[in-house]
Amino acid sequence: MLLKLGLSLLILPLLVLMGAWGVEYSEVSSCIYEGGSYDYLLGECLMDQQGIFVPFAERYPLLVSTSLWASCAGLVFTIVGLYKGAS
Please provide the average confidence, as pLDDT, over all residues in the chain.
95
Domain ranges of the chain: 2-86
Q: Residue 87 — very low, low, confident or very high, per pLDDT cuts 50/70/90? A: low
By the 8 A CB rule, do 54 and 40 touch? yes
**Mean pLDDT in residue range 20-45:** 95
**Mean pLDDT in residue range 18-25:** 97
Q: What is the pLDDT of residues 50-65, one digit of tens each?
A: 999 999 999 999 999 9
Give the DSSP H or E segment for 73.
Answer: helix 61-86
pLDDT score, position 59: 95
